[in-house]
Amino acid sequence: MDSVRFSKEKLAADGICAFARLLTGARALWKGTAPAAVQRIYYGNHTSHGDFVLIWASLPEELRVRTRPVAGADYWNATPLRRWLAHEVLRGVVIERTKTDGGADPVAQMGAALDAGDSLILFPEGTRNTTDAPLLPFRSGIWRVVAAHPDVECVPVWIENLNRVMPKGEFLPIPLLCTLSFGEPVRIAPGEAKDAFLDRLAGALLALAPPPS
């Protein structure tokens, strides 16, 4: 039974990667770093529900199997198919974005994944950016996670065009070319304050964005 389950999940994962690459023609540009078997937090700009899938699919398989996307429970637990994809295929860290009494602590969930030796994909804006601003203010969760795991590298990933491939409110995606730019890793300095660290993270990510047209 385990081998059947593994095969089904593996086939689904391979299919997701192939579909994402076919739909977006995604190019991964490793500008400030290279794929490496070190523990990382890949963090990016958030404009689409497909953002973490595209980053995940752009990693080499040997890194992808140890990299867990952080995903919102409100969306990914909404249907049985999404739940299966998020929990079983993508091995996501599925969090409640609205704090509730007795609910799991998202920072503790992410920390547990890092303690287990996995890497993470997350979006510090916390919600999809539908404004004209290049980035929304970063939330403090990533600082809390990294402050407790200072050896983990934070790798910025700027995703270009995915908001046009999967525009909000549209049922069918629109094929367009997407580019993912992976930048130089950022590490927290000893005792670095929250706001200073979040500013450095945002600056490293914005440095990868294309110039305004």
Is residue 211 in a domain? no
| pLDDT tens digit sequence for 83-97 | 999 999 999 999 987
pLDDT average, residue stretch 96-102: 71
Residue 8, in any domain of the structure: yes
How far apart (Å, rounded) are the C-alpha atoms in residues 90 and 51? 13
Percent of the chain at pLDDT > 70 equals 87
Report pLDDT digits (tens) over 105-158. Answer: 999 999 999 999 999 999 999 888 888 888 999 999 999 999 999 999 999 999
- Report the alpha-carbon distance of residue 51 to residue 45 in Å, rounded: 8
The pLDDT, as a whole number, for residue 27 is 83
pTM over 0.85: yes
**Structural domain range at position 50:** 2-206
198 closest CA partner among 125, 121, 110: 125
Q: Is residue 212 part of a domain?
A: no
Q: H or E element: which one contains 162?
A: helix 162-165
In a domain, residue 60? The reply is: yes
- The count of structural domains within the chain is 1
Residue 4 has pLDDT above 60, yes or no: no
